[in-house]
Amino acid sequence: MIPEDNRFHSDPDGLLADSEHWIDGWRAEPPDPTDEAVVVRLTELLRAHERSGRGWAAASVDDVLAQVSARSLRMRENVVLRDPAGEVRAWGSVHDRAQGRMLFGHVVDRSLSDGVAEACSSLLFSWAEQQARAVGAARDVDVQQIDTGAFADDDRQHGWLEAAGFRRVRRWLQMSRPVTADEAGLVPDPAGWRQGRVTIRLVRRTPDGLPDAVDVQAVHQVLEEAFRDHFNSWEETFPEFVHRLRQDPGHRWDHWWLAELDDSLGEGLGPAPVGALVGTLAETEGGPDGSYVSYIGVLDAARGQGVGKSLLRTIIADAAARGRDRVGLEVDADSPTGAEGLYTSLGWETKYVTESWHRDVPMA
């Protein structure tokens, strides 16, 4: 059952019936997340897309389920295009990411002829535009942004994006750092340690194993404030934030850290949260797993005190203690903060590059 707060259209046939790009004999429908064959097929399409765009595949069934499962549909909608034989040939996904920002992903079978593949792509763009109008109207915004991504070397995707009115707006470095077993001692204890006035600790847990609500809210507040002036930052409510991050297949509460700064003024306020890192498990089929830095943020008032470096050393040490072989992260290639230099100094190297492409859809 689709939750009541889903803001998307759930009838793809109705949205696409009059599209000039419609292909005779094909049909559009939401994917059934309980149909194992459908989930496997979407995984195949996504992995082929990754191999073509960057040279290797990493997507898993769990990654697909994170987008199409019934629980995920609170903030998402999906469509698949089937050919006359019933084979799934293309997949589109939209995510109501935050007020004014909608994420869009589209994957088209790499074995299709150029003309048919382009028609599939155009249909998915038409569907995404209609979904943007739906979510934009429900959110009562004047303009709804569609934010989609592409691998830097995927010329086919670039051509389709340009034809659909998207513009390339940013590049992102996908970086990785090897981890060795001896680095488990990089910090005294990844669960909690102190350096100078800064304390790094895991988000506290209640006796029933759930995270402390105050700590999770502190992580959200720190990240919202730290990214407020960053590229394409949109305010995300606390419920949206928690729901979205819990959908990640690699989500683990024991991968969330807070950095606290002592009350240096002696005002009796106690330590204040000034930094946060949200990590995830990066599973590898048939090989060692890794860790991934989903978010790291430091408040301006705490910059220059080693907070970011301490958080990064903590997740490295944690990964080593867990027997993992790497820590990955993404950094804005065009950021004026110089974050890339910090990561490089700590051993990260760029593995591949992705891009953000945007299109603004006026509601009027």
91-135 tens-digit pLDDT: 999 999 888 899 999 999 999 999 999 999 999 999 999 999 999
Q: How confident is the model at residue 42 (pLDDT cuts 50, 70, 90)?
A: very high
As a whole number of angstroms, the distance between CA 214 and CA 110 comes to 47
Q: How confident is the model at residue 3 (pLDDT cuts 50, 70, 90)?
A: very low
pLDDT of residue 273: 94
Please name the helix (run of DSSP H) or strand (run of DSSP E) that holds residue 108, with its range, or none. Answer: strand 101-108
Contact 358, 147 (CB under 8 A): yes
pLDDT of residue 251: 95
pLDDT of residue 8: 86
How much is the average pLDDT of 130-149? 94
Q: How confident is the model at residue 12 (pLDDT cuts 50, 70, 90)?
A: confident
Contact 345, 331 (CB under 8 A): no
Average pLDDT, the chain: 91
How much is the average pLDDT of 329-339? 85
pLDDT of residue 204: 97
CATH number corresponding to 12-165: 3.40.630.30
Q: How confident is the model at residue 301 (pLDDT cuts 50, 70, 90)?
A: confident
Hey, where are the domains in the chain?
12-165, 175-355
- Count Cβ atoms below 10 Å from residue 50 Cβ, excluding itself: 18
pTM (2 d.p.): 0.90
Closest by CA to 292, choosing from 232, 245, 259, is 245
pLDDT of residue 268: 54
3-state secondary structure of 130: helix
Backbone angles phi, psi at 351, to 5 degrees: -100, -40
Please, what's the b/e burial string for 63-72 (b: 16 or more CB within 10 A of its CB; e: otherwise)?
bbbbbbeeeb
Contact 184, 140 (CB under 8 A): no
3-state secondary structure of 334: coil
- The answer on pLDDT for 252 being more than 70 is yes
* Whether the domain at 12-165 and the domain at 175-355 fall into the same CATH topology: yes
How much is the average pLDDT of 27-43? 95
Closest by CA to 128, choosing from 28, 200, 199, 213, is 28
C-alpha distance from residue 59 to each of 15, 178, 352 (Å): 29, 20, 16
Which option is the CATH number for 175-355: 3.40.50.150, 2.40.10.10, 3.40.630.30, 1.10.10.10? 3.40.630.30
pLDDT of residue 232: 66
pLDDT of residue 269: 60
Q: How confident is the model at residue 194 (pLDDT cuts 50, 70, 90)?
A: very high
Spatial neighbors of 20 by CB under 8 A, at least 6 apart, are none
Please, what's the b/e burial string for 235-265 (b: 16 or more CB within 10 A of its CB; e: otherwise)?
ebeeebbbebbebbebbebbbbbbbbbeeee
State how far Cα 20 lies from the chain centre: 32
Measured in residues, the chain has a length of 364
Tell the burial category of 206 from Cβ atoms under 10 Å away from its Cβ (0-12, 13-18, 19+): exposed
More confident residue, 356 or 265: 356
More confident residue, 271 or 155: 155
C-alpha distance from residue 188 to each of 5, 193, 259, 260 (Å): 45, 6, 15, 17
